[in-house]
Amino acid sequence: MNASTNDTTARRIMALYLATGLGLAVLLMVVGILMRMSQAGWIRLASVDFYALMTLHGAGMIAALVLCGMGGIWYLMRREVAMSASLALWAYGVTVGGVLLVAVAAAFGKFGAAWTFLYPLPFLNPTWPAWSIGAFLIGLTLIVLGWTVWCIQVLEAVLRGFGGFRGVLGWDAVFRPKAFAAAGRKLPPPQVLPAFVIAFDGLLAATAASLLGVALFVHWLDPSVPLDALWAKNITYFFGHDLANFIIYMLIAQVYVGLPAYAGRPWKNSAVLTLGWWGTLVFLLLAFPHHLYMDFAQPAWIQYLGLGASYLSSVPVAVVTVFGGLLLVWRSGMRWGLGSLFMYAGMAGWILGGIGALLDATINFNVHLHNTLWVPAHFHTYLLGASFLFAIGWVFAMLEVRSPDPTPPAMRWTIGVTVLGGIALLVGTFYLAGAASVPRRYDVEPDPGPLLAGWGSVGAIILVLGLLIATLEGARLWRGLRRAKTSVEWPWSPDAAARPEGGAR
Protein backbone atom coordinates (compact mmCIF):
# COMPACT_ATOMS: atom_id res chain seq x y z
CA MET A 1 0.00 0.00 0.00
CA ASN A 2 1.44 3.43 -0.87
CA ALA A 3 1.50 6.41 1.49
CA SER A 4 -1.55 8.16 0.04
CA THR A 5 -3.70 5.01 0.21
CA ASN A 6 -2.58 4.68 3.80
CA ASP A 7 -3.48 8.27 4.47
CA THR A 8 -6.93 7.86 2.94
CA THR A 9 -7.57 4.80 5.12
CA ALA A 10 -6.37 6.68 8.21
CA ARG A 11 -8.61 9.64 7.39
CA ARG A 12 -11.59 7.36 6.91
CA ILE A 13 -10.99 5.73 10.27
CA MET A 14 -10.77 9.13 11.95
CA ALA A 15 -13.96 10.20 10.13
CA LEU A 16 -15.75 7.07 11.38
CA TYR A 17 -14.79 7.77 15.00
CA LEU A 18 -15.64 11.48 14.70
CA ALA A 19 -18.95 11.01 12.88
CA THR A 20 -20.10 8.40 15.42
CA GLY A 21 -18.97 10.50 18.41
CA LEU A 22 -20.43 13.78 17.18
CA GLY A 23 -23.67 12.18 15.91
CA LEU A 24 -24.18 10.48 19.27
CA ALA A 25 -23.41 13.72 21.14
CA VAL A 26 -26.03 15.70 19.20
CA LEU A 27 -28.61 12.93 19.70
CA LEU A 28 -27.93 12.95 23.43
CA MET A 29 -28.21 16.74 23.51
CA VAL A 30 -31.88 16.24 22.64
CA VAL A 31 -32.09 13.91 25.66
CA GLY A 32 -30.40 16.66 27.74
CA ILE A 33 -32.97 19.18 26.54
CA LEU A 34 -35.83 16.84 27.56
CA MET A 35 -34.34 16.55 31.07
CA ARG A 36 -33.82 20.30 31.42
CA MET A 37 -37.36 21.01 30.13
CA SER A 38 -38.72 18.53 32.66
CA GLN A 39 -36.78 20.26 35.47
CA ALA A 40 -38.29 23.54 34.20
CA GLY A 41 -41.79 22.06 34.46
CA TRP A 42 -42.42 22.53 30.71
CA ILE A 43 -42.96 18.80 30.28
CA ARG A 44 -43.24 16.06 32.91
CA LEU A 45 -40.95 13.04 32.72
CA ALA A 46 -41.79 10.29 35.22
CA SER A 47 -38.95 9.89 37.77
CA VAL A 48 -37.94 6.47 36.41
CA ASP A 49 -37.71 7.92 32.90
CA PHE A 50 -35.77 10.98 34.05
CA TYR A 51 -33.11 8.90 35.81
CA ALA A 52 -32.86 6.39 32.96
CA LEU A 53 -32.39 9.27 30.49
CA MET A 54 -29.87 10.93 32.83
CA THR A 55 -27.84 7.71 32.98
CA LEU A 56 -28.01 7.30 29.21
CA HIS A 57 -27.08 10.95 28.63
CA GLY A 58 -24.11 10.86 31.04
CA ALA A 59 -22.58 7.54 29.98
CA GLY A 60 -23.34 8.12 26.29
CA MET A 61 -21.91 11.65 26.22
CA ILE A 62 -18.67 10.59 27.89
CA ALA A 63 -18.33 7.70 25.43
CA ALA A 64 -19.20 9.99 22.48
CA LEU A 65 -16.46 12.51 23.24
CA VAL A 66 -13.99 9.77 24.14
CA LEU A 67 -14.63 8.36 20.63
CA CYS A 68 -13.91 11.79 19.09
CA GLY A 69 -10.64 12.01 21.04
CA MET A 70 -9.63 8.44 20.19
CA GLY A 71 -10.20 8.96 16.46
CA GLY A 72 -8.42 12.32 16.41
CA ILE A 73 -5.30 11.16 18.27
CA TRP A 74 -5.16 7.89 16.36
CA TYR A 75 -5.08 9.81 13.10
CA LEU A 76 -2.48 12.34 14.26
CA MET A 77 -0.18 9.57 15.49
CA ARG A 78 -0.79 7.56 12.33
CA ARG A 79 0.64 10.49 10.35
CA GLU A 80 3.90 10.04 12.22
CA VAL A 81 4.23 6.31 12.85
CA ALA A 82 2.90 3.18 11.10
CA MET A 83 -0.14 1.73 12.95
CA SER A 84 -2.56 -1.09 12.19
CA ALA A 85 -5.89 0.11 10.79
CA SER A 86 -7.64 -3.16 11.69
CA LEU A 87 -6.78 -2.75 15.36
CA ALA A 88 -8.25 0.76 15.32
CA LEU A 89 -11.44 -0.60 13.71
CA TRP A 90 -11.57 -3.37 16.29
CA ALA A 91 -11.30 -0.88 19.17
CA TYR A 92 -14.03 1.20 17.50
CA GLY A 93 -16.39 -1.75 17.06
CA VAL A 94 -16.01 -2.98 20.63
CA THR A 95 -16.49 0.50 22.10
CA VAL A 96 -19.59 1.20 20.00
CA GLY A 97 -20.99 -2.26 20.93
CA GLY A 98 -20.57 -1.26 24.59
CA VAL A 99 -22.37 2.05 24.06
CA LEU A 100 -25.28 0.19 22.42
CA LEU A 101 -25.59 -2.17 25.40
CA VAL A 102 -25.61 0.78 27.83
CA ALA A 103 -28.35 2.34 25.67
CA VAL A 104 -30.39 -0.90 25.80
CA ALA A 105 -30.02 -1.04 29.61
CA ALA A 106 -31.25 2.54 29.98
CA ALA A 107 -33.88 2.63 27.22
CA PHE A 108 -35.53 -0.79 27.75
CA GLY A 109 -34.49 -1.71 31.29
CA LYS A 110 -34.76 1.90 32.59
CA PHE A 111 -31.48 1.39 34.45
CA GLY A 112 -31.08 4.70 36.27
CA ALA A 113 -28.19 4.53 38.76
CA ALA A 114 -26.41 7.47 37.00
CA TRP A 115 -23.37 7.09 34.79
CA THR A 116 -21.23 6.76 37.93
CA PHE A 117 -23.11 3.52 38.91
CA LEU A 118 -21.82 3.95 42.46
CA TYR A 119 -21.95 0.76 44.54
CA PRO A 120 -24.36 -0.21 46.10
CA LEU A 121 -26.86 2.01 44.22
CA PRO A 122 -27.34 -0.24 41.14
CA PHE A 123 -28.33 -3.13 43.46
CA LEU A 124 -30.21 -1.29 46.21
CA ASN A 125 -34.02 -1.67 45.94
CA PRO A 126 -33.78 -1.12 42.20
CA THR A 127 -36.75 -0.11 40.08
CA TRP A 128 -34.93 -1.71 37.10
CA PRO A 129 -34.66 -5.45 36.33
CA ALA A 130 -31.50 -7.47 37.17
CA TRP A 131 -30.74 -8.04 33.46
CA SER A 132 -30.40 -4.27 32.91
CA ILE A 133 -27.67 -4.11 35.58
CA GLY A 134 -25.83 -6.89 33.74
CA ALA A 135 -26.34 -5.20 30.35
CA PHE A 136 -25.00 -1.91 31.75
CA LEU A 137 -21.96 -3.65 33.31
CA ILE A 138 -21.19 -5.66 30.16
CA GLY A 139 -21.61 -2.48 28.09
CA LEU A 140 -19.11 -0.63 30.28
CA THR A 141 -16.74 -3.60 30.12
CA LEU A 142 -16.80 -3.45 26.32
CA ILE A 143 -16.14 0.31 26.39
CA VAL A 144 -13.16 -0.30 28.71
CA LEU A 145 -11.93 -3.10 26.42
CA GLY A 146 -12.04 -0.89 23.33
CA TRP A 147 -10.33 1.88 25.29
CA THR A 148 -7.59 -0.49 26.49
CA VAL A 149 -6.84 -1.67 22.94
CA TRP A 150 -6.61 1.94 21.80
CA CYS A 151 -4.29 2.87 24.71
CA ILE A 152 -1.94 -0.05 24.02
CA GLN A 153 -1.81 0.71 20.31
CA VAL A 154 -1.17 4.44 20.72
CA LEU A 155 1.36 3.96 23.54
CA GLU A 156 3.35 1.40 21.57
CA ALA A 157 3.35 3.58 18.44
CA VAL A 158 4.43 6.73 20.27
CA LEU A 159 7.25 4.99 22.14
CA ARG A 160 8.44 3.30 18.95
CA GLY A 161 8.26 6.48 16.88
CA PHE A 162 9.81 9.00 19.24
CA GLY A 163 12.71 7.34 21.03
CA GLY A 164 11.00 5.59 23.95
CA PHE A 165 10.15 7.25 27.26
CA ARG A 166 13.30 9.36 27.16
CA GLY A 167 12.47 10.83 23.75
CA VAL A 168 8.75 11.38 24.33
CA LEU A 169 9.33 12.95 27.74
CA GLY A 170 12.00 15.25 26.28
CA TRP A 171 14.44 14.18 29.01
CA ASP A 172 17.53 15.60 27.27
CA ALA A 173 15.81 18.83 26.26
CA VAL A 174 14.80 19.40 29.89
CA PHE A 175 18.04 18.38 31.64
CA ARG A 176 20.71 19.05 28.99
CA PRO A 177 19.17 21.83 26.90
CA LYS A 178 22.44 23.20 25.52
CA ALA A 179 23.76 19.82 24.34
CA PHE A 180 20.30 19.01 22.95
CA ALA A 181 20.15 22.23 20.92
CA ALA A 182 23.83 21.97 19.84
CA ALA A 183 23.19 18.49 18.45
CA GLY A 184 20.33 19.98 16.35
CA ARG A 185 17.83 17.64 17.99
CA LYS A 186 14.13 18.42 18.13
CA LEU A 187 11.35 17.59 20.56
CA PRO A 188 8.44 15.53 19.20
CA PRO A 189 5.53 17.62 17.86
CA PRO A 190 3.24 18.85 20.68
CA GLN A 191 0.36 16.50 19.82
CA VAL A 192 2.55 13.55 20.83
CA LEU A 193 2.41 14.71 24.46
CA PRO A 194 -1.35 14.25 24.96
CA ALA A 195 -1.22 11.01 23.00
CA PHE A 196 1.45 9.60 25.29
CA VAL A 197 0.06 10.94 28.59
CA ILE A 198 -3.50 9.79 27.94
CA ALA A 199 -2.52 6.37 26.56
CA PHE A 200 -0.25 5.78 29.58
CA ASP A 201 -2.66 7.04 32.26
CA GLY A 202 -5.55 5.50 30.34
CA LEU A 203 -4.07 2.04 30.74
CA LEU A 204 -3.81 2.49 34.50
CA ALA A 205 -7.41 3.74 34.70
CA ALA A 206 -8.55 0.78 32.56
CA THR A 207 -6.80 -1.62 34.93
CA ALA A 208 -8.69 -0.14 37.88
CA ALA A 209 -11.95 -0.32 35.91
CA SER A 210 -11.36 -4.01 35.16
CA LEU A 211 -10.80 -4.74 38.84
CA LEU A 212 -13.99 -2.93 39.78
CA GLY A 213 -15.88 -4.59 36.92
CA VAL A 214 -14.98 -8.07 38.16
CA ALA A 215 -16.06 -7.18 41.72
CA LEU A 216 -19.40 -5.76 40.52
CA PHE A 217 -20.03 -8.80 38.30
CA VAL A 218 -19.42 -11.13 41.24
CA HIS A 219 -21.85 -9.11 43.36
CA TRP A 220 -24.42 -9.10 40.54
CA LEU A 221 -24.20 -12.90 40.19
CA ASP A 222 -24.09 -13.54 43.93
CA PRO A 223 -25.52 -10.63 45.98
CA SER A 224 -24.40 -12.32 49.23
CA VAL A 225 -20.80 -11.29 48.39
CA PRO A 226 -20.50 -7.76 49.80
CA LEU A 227 -18.09 -5.09 48.55
CA ASP A 228 -16.44 -2.41 50.62
CA ALA A 229 -18.37 0.72 49.60
CA LEU A 230 -15.47 3.13 50.22
CA TRP A 231 -13.08 0.95 48.23
CA ALA A 232 -15.62 0.77 45.39
CA LYS A 233 -16.11 4.54 45.43
CA ASN A 234 -12.38 5.21 45.29
CA ILE A 235 -11.90 2.86 42.34
CA THR A 236 -15.04 4.11 40.56
CA TYR A 237 -13.83 7.70 40.69
CA PHE A 238 -10.25 6.78 39.89
CA PHE A 239 -11.64 5.41 36.63
CA GLY A 240 -14.66 7.67 36.04
CA HIS A 241 -13.06 10.99 36.95
CA ASP A 242 -9.99 10.16 34.91
CA LEU A 243 -11.93 9.06 31.83
CA ALA A 244 -14.06 12.22 31.86
CA ASN A 245 -10.88 14.30 32.32
CA PHE A 246 -8.96 12.52 29.57
CA ILE A 247 -11.43 13.91 27.01
CA ILE A 248 -10.19 17.48 27.04
CA TYR A 249 -6.52 16.44 27.17
CA MET A 250 -7.05 14.19 24.14
CA LEU A 251 -8.87 16.79 22.08
CA ILE A 252 -6.29 19.50 22.75
CA ALA A 253 -4.08 17.49 20.37
CA GLN A 254 -6.40 18.55 17.52
CA VAL A 255 -5.97 22.19 18.56
CA TYR A 256 -2.16 21.88 18.56
CA VAL A 257 -2.43 20.86 14.89
CA GLY A 258 -5.60 22.66 13.79
CA LEU A 259 -5.09 26.21 15.07
CA PRO A 260 -1.71 26.71 13.34
CA ALA A 261 -3.46 26.09 10.02
CA TYR A 262 -5.21 29.44 10.50
CA ALA A 263 -2.32 31.29 12.17
CA GLY A 264 0.18 30.33 9.46
CA ARG A 265 2.89 29.30 11.89
CA PRO A 266 3.55 26.09 13.81
CA TRP A 267 2.65 25.32 17.41
CA LYS A 268 6.04 24.28 18.70
CA ASN A 269 6.77 21.92 21.52
CA SER A 270 9.12 23.31 24.17
CA ALA A 271 10.75 22.17 27.40
CA VAL A 272 8.16 24.24 29.32
CA LEU A 273 5.20 22.61 27.55
CA THR A 274 6.77 19.18 28.01
CA LEU A 275 7.25 19.86 31.74
CA GLY A 276 3.59 20.89 32.02
CA TRP A 277 2.62 17.50 30.55
CA TRP A 278 4.92 15.72 33.03
CA GLY A 279 2.74 17.25 35.75
CA THR A 280 -0.44 16.11 34.00
CA LEU A 281 0.98 12.59 33.61
CA VAL A 282 1.39 12.21 37.37
CA PHE A 283 -1.26 14.40 38.93
CA LEU A 284 -4.15 13.47 36.65
CA LEU A 285 -4.14 10.10 38.39
CA LEU A 286 -4.13 11.59 41.89
CA ALA A 287 -6.86 14.24 41.59
CA PHE A 288 -9.93 11.98 41.92
CA PRO A 289 -10.19 12.10 45.78
CA HIS A 290 -11.81 15.55 45.43
CA HIS A 291 -14.99 13.56 44.72
CA LEU A 292 -14.79 12.02 48.19
CA TYR A 293 -14.48 15.05 50.49
CA MET A 294 -17.82 14.17 52.08
CA ASP A 295 -16.70 10.61 52.86
CA PHE A 296 -15.55 11.08 56.40
CA ALA A 297 -14.15 7.54 56.61
CA GLN A 298 -11.56 8.46 53.97
CA PRO A 299 -8.14 9.21 55.57
CA ALA A 300 -7.63 13.00 55.70
CA TRP A 301 -4.22 12.93 53.97
CA ILE A 302 -5.84 11.47 50.85
CA GLN A 303 -8.25 14.42 50.76
CA TYR A 304 -5.35 16.90 50.85
CA LEU A 305 -3.50 14.88 48.21
CA GLY A 306 -6.59 15.16 46.00
CA LEU A 307 -6.75 18.90 46.60
CA GLY A 308 -3.10 19.49 45.65
CA ALA A 309 -3.19 17.13 42.68
CA SER A 310 -6.36 18.79 41.31
CA TYR A 311 -4.50 22.07 40.95
CA LEU A 312 -1.26 20.51 39.73
CA SER A 313 -2.88 18.23 37.14
CA SER A 314 -4.66 20.97 35.25
CA VAL A 315 -3.02 24.32 35.86
CA PRO A 316 0.42 23.82 34.21
CA VAL A 317 -0.83 22.37 30.94
CA ALA A 318 -3.86 24.63 30.66
CA VAL A 319 -1.85 27.76 31.39
CA VAL A 320 1.08 26.88 29.13
CA THR A 321 -1.24 25.72 26.35
CA VAL A 322 -3.56 28.69 26.50
CA PHE A 323 -0.67 31.19 26.65
CA GLY A 324 0.95 29.24 23.79
CA GLY A 325 -2.34 29.57 21.86
CA LEU A 326 -2.50 33.31 22.52
CA LEU A 327 1.09 33.79 21.35
CA LEU A 328 0.40 31.68 18.27
CA VAL A 329 -2.48 33.96 17.30
CA TRP A 330 -0.90 37.27 18.38
CA ARG A 331 0.15 39.28 15.31
CA SER A 332 -0.01 36.18 13.16
CA GLY A 333 -2.42 37.60 10.59
CA MET A 334 -4.85 35.00 11.88
CA ARG A 335 -7.44 33.79 9.37
CA TRP A 336 -10.69 33.50 11.30
CA GLY A 337 -13.07 30.79 10.24
CA LEU A 338 -15.52 28.53 12.04
CA GLY A 339 -12.74 26.06 12.89
CA SER A 340 -10.46 28.64 14.48
CA LEU A 341 -13.40 30.33 16.22
CA PHE A 342 -14.52 27.08 17.87
CA MET A 343 -11.02 26.04 18.89
CA TYR A 344 -10.15 29.48 20.24
CA ALA A 345 -13.45 29.82 22.13
CA GLY A 346 -12.91 26.28 23.43
CA MET A 347 -9.67 27.36 25.07
CA ALA A 348 -11.62 30.05 26.94
CA GLY A 349 -14.16 27.37 27.93
CA TRP A 350 -11.31 25.21 29.20
CA ILE A 351 -10.09 27.99 31.50
CA LEU A 352 -13.59 28.94 32.70
CA GLY A 353 -14.64 25.33 33.32
CA GLY A 354 -11.27 24.66 34.93
CA ILE A 355 -11.74 27.54 37.38
CA GLY A 356 -15.23 26.26 38.21
CA ALA A 357 -13.81 22.77 38.75
CA LEU A 358 -10.94 23.95 40.92
CA LEU A 359 -13.29 26.01 43.08
CA ASP A 360 -15.36 22.88 43.63
CA ALA A 361 -12.19 20.86 44.30
CA THR A 362 -11.20 23.33 47.06
CA ILE A 363 -12.39 21.90 50.35
CA ASN A 364 -13.81 25.15 51.77
CA PHE A 365 -15.91 25.75 48.64
CA ASN A 366 -16.82 22.09 48.26
CA VAL A 367 -18.63 22.22 51.59
CA HIS A 368 -21.13 24.56 49.90
CA LEU A 369 -21.08 23.40 46.28
CA HIS A 370 -20.96 19.61 46.71
CA ASN A 371 -23.73 17.88 44.77
CA THR A 372 -25.29 21.14 43.65
CA LEU A 373 -25.78 22.07 40.00
CA TRP A 374 -22.36 23.77 40.20
CA VAL A 375 -20.93 20.34 39.36
CA PRO A 376 -22.80 19.87 36.04
CA ALA A 377 -22.04 23.59 35.43
CA HIS A 378 -18.29 23.17 35.45
CA PHE A 379 -18.13 19.85 33.62
CA HIS A 380 -20.55 21.03 30.92
CA THR A 381 -18.30 24.09 30.50
CA TYR A 382 -15.22 22.07 29.70
CA LEU A 383 -16.94 19.14 28.01
CA LEU A 384 -19.49 21.06 25.95
CA GLY A 385 -17.89 24.53 25.97
CA ALA A 386 -14.37 23.24 25.28
CA SER A 387 -13.96 19.56 24.31
CA PHE A 388 -16.99 19.44 22.00
CA LEU A 389 -15.91 22.77 20.45
CA PHE A 390 -12.39 21.39 19.87
CA ALA A 391 -13.90 18.40 18.06
CA ILE A 392 -16.19 20.41 15.77
CA GLY A 393 -13.43 23.02 15.34
CA TRP A 394 -11.18 20.26 14.02
CA VAL A 395 -13.87 19.10 11.58
CA PHE A 396 -14.31 22.64 10.25
CA ALA A 397 -10.54 23.11 10.09
CA MET A 398 -10.26 20.10 7.79
CA LEU A 399 -12.97 21.55 5.55
CA GLU A 400 -12.10 25.24 5.64
CA VAL A 401 -8.36 25.13 5.17
CA ARG A 402 -8.79 23.44 1.80
CA SER A 403 -12.08 25.05 0.83
CA PRO A 404 -12.22 27.11 -2.37
CA ASP A 405 -15.41 28.82 -1.15
CA PRO A 406 -15.14 30.03 2.49
CA THR A 407 -18.06 30.62 4.84
CA PRO A 408 -19.54 34.12 4.34
CA PRO A 409 -19.12 36.39 7.42
CA ALA A 410 -22.90 36.63 8.08
CA MET A 411 -23.16 32.84 8.23
CA ARG A 412 -20.09 32.67 10.49
CA TRP A 413 -21.66 35.17 12.86
CA THR A 414 -25.01 33.36 12.88
CA ILE A 415 -23.38 30.03 13.73
CA GLY A 416 -20.91 31.57 16.21
CA VAL A 417 -23.58 33.54 18.10
CA THR A 418 -26.11 30.69 18.28
CA VAL A 419 -23.64 27.94 19.23
CA LEU A 420 -21.53 29.93 21.69
CA GLY A 421 -24.49 31.98 23.01
CA GLY A 422 -26.57 28.82 23.50
CA ILE A 423 -23.77 27.13 25.43
CA ALA A 424 -23.22 30.25 27.58
CA LEU A 425 -26.92 30.43 28.51
CA LEU A 426 -27.13 26.69 29.26
CA VAL A 427 -24.05 26.54 31.49
CA GLY A 428 -24.69 30.00 32.99
CA THR A 429 -28.02 28.80 34.41
CA PHE A 430 -26.34 25.66 35.82
CA TYR A 431 -23.80 27.92 37.63
CA LEU A 432 -26.48 30.27 38.99
CA ALA A 433 -28.56 27.31 40.22
CA GLY A 434 -25.48 25.75 41.82
CA ALA A 435 -24.58 29.01 43.55
CA ALA A 436 -28.19 29.13 44.84
CA SER A 437 -27.73 25.59 46.26
CA VAL A 438 -30.12 23.83 43.85
CA PRO A 439 -29.14 20.16 44.15
CA ARG A 440 -27.96 18.16 41.13
CA ARG A 441 -29.71 14.98 39.94
CA TYR A 442 -33.15 16.09 41.16
CA ASP A 443 -35.87 15.49 38.60
CA VAL A 444 -38.07 17.98 40.47
CA GLU A 445 -35.98 20.91 41.68
CA PRO A 446 -36.60 23.42 44.49
CA ASP A 447 -36.76 27.16 43.60
CA PRO A 448 -35.10 28.88 41.79
CA GLY A 449 -34.26 25.65 39.91
CA PRO A 450 -37.30 25.48 37.58
CA LEU A 451 -36.99 29.12 36.46
CA LEU A 452 -33.29 28.69 35.67
CA ALA A 453 -33.93 25.31 34.01
CA GLY A 454 -36.38 27.15 31.69
CA TRP A 455 -33.68 29.61 30.60
CA GLY A 456 -31.21 26.73 30.33
CA SER A 457 -33.64 24.93 27.99
CA VAL A 458 -33.86 28.05 25.82
CA GLY A 459 -30.03 28.12 25.63
CA ALA A 460 -29.84 24.43 24.75
CA ILE A 461 -32.48 24.75 22.01
CA ILE A 462 -30.61 27.74 20.51
CA LEU A 463 -27.40 25.67 20.64
CA VAL A 464 -28.93 22.71 18.81
CA LEU A 465 -30.44 25.02 16.16
CA GLY A 466 -26.99 26.60 15.72
CA LEU A 467 -25.45 23.15 15.33
CA LEU A 468 -28.04 22.30 12.71
CA ILE A 469 -27.09 25.40 10.69
CA ALA A 470 -23.40 24.54 11.23
CA THR A 471 -24.03 21.03 9.86
CA LEU A 472 -25.65 22.47 6.73
CA GLU A 473 -22.71 24.85 6.29
CA GLY A 474 -20.26 21.97 6.81
CA ALA A 475 -22.09 19.99 4.10
CA ARG A 476 -21.83 22.98 1.74
CA LEU A 477 -18.07 23.27 2.35
CA TRP A 478 -17.69 19.52 1.82
CA ARG A 479 -19.56 19.64 -1.50
CA GLY A 480 -17.39 22.59 -2.59
CA LEU A 481 -14.26 20.59 -1.79
CA ARG A 482 -15.43 17.61 -3.80
CA ARG A 483 -16.38 19.76 -6.78
CA ALA A 484 -13.06 21.62 -6.75
CA LYS A 485 -11.04 18.41 -6.18
CA THR A 486 -8.70 20.64 -4.18
CA SER A 487 -5.08 19.64 -3.95
CA VAL A 488 -4.23 21.75 -0.87
CA GLU A 489 -2.28 19.60 1.54
CA TRP A 490 -4.06 18.48 4.70
CA PRO A 491 -3.27 18.29 7.52
CA TRP A 492 -1.56 21.56 6.93
CA SER A 493 1.92 21.30 8.31
CA PRO A 494 4.15 24.38 8.34
CA ASP A 495 7.12 22.46 9.68
CA ALA A 496 6.68 19.30 7.66
CA ALA A 497 10.36 19.45 6.75
CA ALA A 498 11.41 19.58 10.38
CA ARG A 499 10.19 16.22 11.63
CA PRO A 500 11.83 15.18 14.90
CA GLU A 501 14.14 12.23 15.11
CA GLY A 502 12.34 8.96 14.64
CA GLY A 503 9.22 10.71 13.40
CA ALA A 504 9.08 8.87 10.11
CA ARG A 505 5.81 7.83 8.51
Sorted by sequence, the CB contacts under 8 Å of residue 124 that are 6+ apart come out as none
The distance of closest approach from Cβ of residue 423 to ligand HEM in the complex, given in angstroms and rounded to an integer, is 8
- Is residue 424 close enough to count as binding ligand HEM by CB under 6 A? no
Site for ligand HEM in 294-313 (CB under 6 A): none
The distance of closest approach from Cβ of residue 33 to ligand HEM in the complex, given in angstroms and rounded to an integer, is 5
- Is residue 385 close enough to count as binding ligand HEM by CB under 6 A? no
What residues does 372 pair with on adjacent strands? 439
Give yes or no for a cis peptide into 376 (omega within 30° of 0). Answer: no
The distance of closest approach from Cβ of residue 443 to ligand HEM in the complex, given in angstroms and rounded to an integer, is 8
Choice between 35 and 70, CB closer to ligand HEM: 35
Q: How far apart are CA 261 and CA 484, in angstroms?
A: 20
Please count the other Cβ atoms lying within 10 Å of the Cβ belonging to residue 285: 19
Q: Using CA atoms of 460, 315, 191, 471 in order, give the dihedral in degrees to the nearest 10.
A: 10
Sorted by sequence, the CB contacts under 8 Å of residue 426 that are 6+ apart come out as 36, 380, 384, 456, 459, 460, 463
Choice between 65 and 81, CB closer to ligand HEM: 65
The distance of closest approach from Cβ of residue 174 to ligand HEM in the complex, given in angstroms and rounded to an integer, is 34
Q: Which of 36, 79, 110, 186 binds ligand HEM (CB under 6 A)?
A: 36
Q: How far apart are CA 270 and CA 190, in angstroms?
A: 8
Q: Which of 185, 370, 441, 499 binds ligand HEM (CB under 6 A)?
A: 441
The site for ligand HEM, by CB under 6 A, has a size of 26
DSSP letter at 439 equals B
- Is residue 58 close enough to count as binding ligand HEM by CB under 6 A? yes
Q: Which of 24, 57, 255, 462 binds ligand HEM (CB under 6 A)?
A: 57
Q: Which of 10, 40, 54, 399 binds ligand HEM (CB under 6 A)?
A: 54
What 3 state SS string does 63-127 have?
A: HHHHHHHHHHHHHHHHCCCCCCHHHHHHHHHHHHHHHHHHHHHHHCCCCCCCCCCCCCHHHCCCC
Q: How far apart are CA 330 and CA 344, in angstroms?
A: 12
Q: Could you give the C-alpha distances from 206 to 64, 148, 199, 211, 343, in angstroms and in order?
A: 17, 6, 10, 9, 29
Residue 335's φ and ψ, nearest 5 degrees, are -100, 110
Q: How far apart are CA 164 and CA 218, in angstroms?
A: 39
Q: Which of 13, 18, 35, 173 binds ligand HEM (CB under 6 A)?
A: 35
Q: Is 114 exposed, middle or buried (0-12, 13-18, 19+ CB in 10 A)?
A: middle
- Is residue 61 close enough to count as binding ligand HEM by CB under 6 A? yes
- Written as one string, the DSSP assignment of 325-379 is HHHHHTTTT----HHHHHHHHHHHHHHHHHHHHHHHTSHHHHHHHTTBTHHHHHH
Site for ligand HEM in 362-381 (CB under 6 A): 376, 380
Interface segment toward ligand HEM; rule CB under 6 A; list 30-38, 187-195, 284-292, 412-420: 30-38
- Is residue 29 close enough to count as binding ligand HEM by CB under 6 A? yes
- Is residue 25 close enough to count as binding ligand HEM by CB under 6 A? yes
The distance of closest approach from Cβ of residue 291 to ligand HEM in the complex, given in angstroms and rounded to an integer, is 12
The distance of closest approach from Cβ of residue 95 to ligand HEM in the complex, given in angstroms and rounded to an integer, is 15
The distance of closest approach from Cβ of residue 162 to ligand HEM in the complex, given in angstroms and rounded to an integer, is 30
Please count the other Cβ atoms lying within 10 Å of the Cβ belonging to residue 165: 12
Interface segment toward ligand HEM; rule CB under 6 A; list 54-62, 175-183, 325-333, 492-500: 54-62
- Is residue 388 close enough to count as binding ligand HEM by CB under 6 A? yes
Give yes or no for a cis peptide into 122 (omega within 30° of 0). Answer: no
The distance of closest approach from Cβ of residue 220 to ligand HEM in the complex, given in angstroms and rounded to an integer, is 20
Site for ligand HEM in 442-501 (CB under 6 A): 460, 463
Choice between 159 and 391, CB closer to ligand HEM: 391
Which residue is at the shortest CB distance from ligand HEM?
32
What residues does 439 pair with on adjacent strands? 372
Binding site for ligand HEM (CB under 6 A): 25, 29, 32-33, 35-36, 54-55, 57-58, 61-62, 65, 114-116, 376, 380, 383-384, 388, 426, 440-441, 460, 463
